[in-house]
């Protein structure tokens, strides 16, 4: 993938295109599959209306580590950058092999043991998808934008 960048983003780009369309047109559906490219947002047969399919990106040409970005736009120091980062994102725009993501911040839920919800941040980034070798979809959720 690293040496042949011409068509290397097609697989991930196609999945992100589906996710972006789902987020833009989120509706309920009667059957919920547990795959990244399922045709709607939701996580069970009684699918509440969700507006976000959070994802993680993994680097190409490296050891497959999760991509991380700052949760805030203004970073005053290297310490701020390393202490306020996230590895969870929401696709906002897709143009060929270039994708723009919003950084999501984890907010632990108190009532449900081990559950996490996400809050939108004002931090965005654009990435060349040839730098991405894998994505991981997390449970669909509602994010206040």
| pLDDT tens digit at each of 145 positions of the chain | 344 455 567 789 999 999 998 888 775 444 445 567 666 665 554 455 788 999 999 987 667 789 999 988 765 655 555 568 999 999 999 999 999 999 999 886 644 555 578 999 999 999 999 888 889 999 888 888 7
Q: Hey, where are the domains in the chain?
A: 10-137
pLDDT for 34 equals 58
* Cβ-Cβ contacts under 8 Å for 118 (sequence gap 6 or more): 52, 54, 88, 90, 104, 105, 106, 107, 141, 143
What pairs with residue 66 in β-bridges? 58
Full-model pTM: 0.73
């Amino acid at each position: 993938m690293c040496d042949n960048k011409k068509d290397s983003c097609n697989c991930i780009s196609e999945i992100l295109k589906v996710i972006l369309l789902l987020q833009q047109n989120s509706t309920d559906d009667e059957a919920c599959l547990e795959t990244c490219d399922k045709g709607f947002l939701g996580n069970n047969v009684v699918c509440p209306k969700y507006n976000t399919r959070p994802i993680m990106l993994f680097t190409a040409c490296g050891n497959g580590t999760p991509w991380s970005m700052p949760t805030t736009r203004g970073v005053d120091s290297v310490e701020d950058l390393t202490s306020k980062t996230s590895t969870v994102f929401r696709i906002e725009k897709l143009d060929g092999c270039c994708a723009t993501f919003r950084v999501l911040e984890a907010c632990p839920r108190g009532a449900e043991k081990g559950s996490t919800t996400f809050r939108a941040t004002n931090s965005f980034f654009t990435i060349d998808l040839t730098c991405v070798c894998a994505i991981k979809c997390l449970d669909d959720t509602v994010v206040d934008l």
